[in-house]
Structure 1
């Protein structure tokens, strides 16, 4: 079969277009022959971020920014293509950071922890870090303020060191020297007083030493006196306690004697407790008295007789 020239030209044009597309994708950083993972991150501001900027983990590139799209709420959605050889935890945070003082941007992954991993198409948490210039600016402001204060201090010192200041400074040193001389004179006076009173101090310390020596020599006697005093107090306390115990024993013995008499039937209480006939008589007397009271309430005329006119009733 003979291939026409038009067919050859068409095939050549198709191959050229395919090579052009593949080459353009390769130059943009796209790997046409491998299936990459796609993740998304939304930012309020992506100033300086562009397509094909790298995605880094600890300075190592694992992917790139493949697309940027403005959403209806004003945020910018960044599409991230990640090498499929790396698993990204679901709690990973995608930081938008500056990588140089010139303002170059990159997405830096702060890998999370856990057993759950993000799947292709998931949206990761995003945050925007300050630029390096913005981070350096507070330090620069503090340095400028410090230099300004230092310049003010030097200017004040320069104005302070004048002939009048030098004279005052010399007068101050003269006053200090006078104070030191006065202090030296005072210490000499104190030394003289101590020397005069030295004999008295020696006598006082001698007396104190004699007292302590006497106490040391009579230590055994003092110990014996304290022991005797402790023995006397112990005997006094023991005597009171023993007397109390004897009184309690006597009271218990008397009570036991009384109980024994009651149990043996001696005395009125003993007879009342032990004589059954006396108990029965008392019980019968109580019952008869109860019947009498009942009959008295029912028929009072049998026991009480009176007349208004003084007459008698049989």
Structure 2
């Protein structure tokens, strides 16, 4: 059977129209050959959301935005086509979310925990996630503020870090380096001294240990000695100190009485000390005796005469 050209053209036209319809429906988010469930929600602002945008759950696509209609109150009624194989709880929230930094939008289903499932044609709760740029903007402002402050600080630092400061800083670093080297030398000297005196230190420590052990081993005797010392101290403390002081005061009083009598010329010693005539007579007698002794030495024959024949001579 021969098909005419007109028939062929007609068939091709029908096929082309069908493909055009299917493609147009697909671009609008409608899958002609699948049985999808339709859900609705209402937004006050869609902020760049358009038809055919994906519907995601944890980043996985389960459907598309199929239609958007402006309502008299200014809200936007949005229709979703979700594959019937996916069960959507009734308390699921459909949020408008950004998918990239360029402002791409999508619907993200925040799956609820209700055991009751949403039915075809049900309304879902709506929500809008914060834009990535909205989150970045406060951070950007803070970074700009910090950058301005940092620039001011660097300006001040540059004004302080002049050539003289840099030179002083270099000298300070050099001084610190020299000090550290000196400390290192001192440490080496100390180590050498300790090494050379190690035997003596060991001997001293050994002697201290012996002394400590001796005290430890003779602690009983030391305790007895301390007890005896306490006893002697107690006995000395118990002596009649007041009686001794009274006796000393009496003796001093008697001695003062004797001195007073001497000063008044009473008694032999008082007369001897206070009688000037007695003193003068004794002094004169002493002088006369001294002259006599000198005269005897010089002229012994005047006082002593001897005779050869044992007779007294005549004067």
Per the normalisation by structure 2, the TM-score is 0.48
Instruction: Please tell me whether Structure 1 or Structure 2 has the larger radius of gyration of its CA atoms.
Output: 2
Per the normalisation by structure 1, the TM-score is 0.48
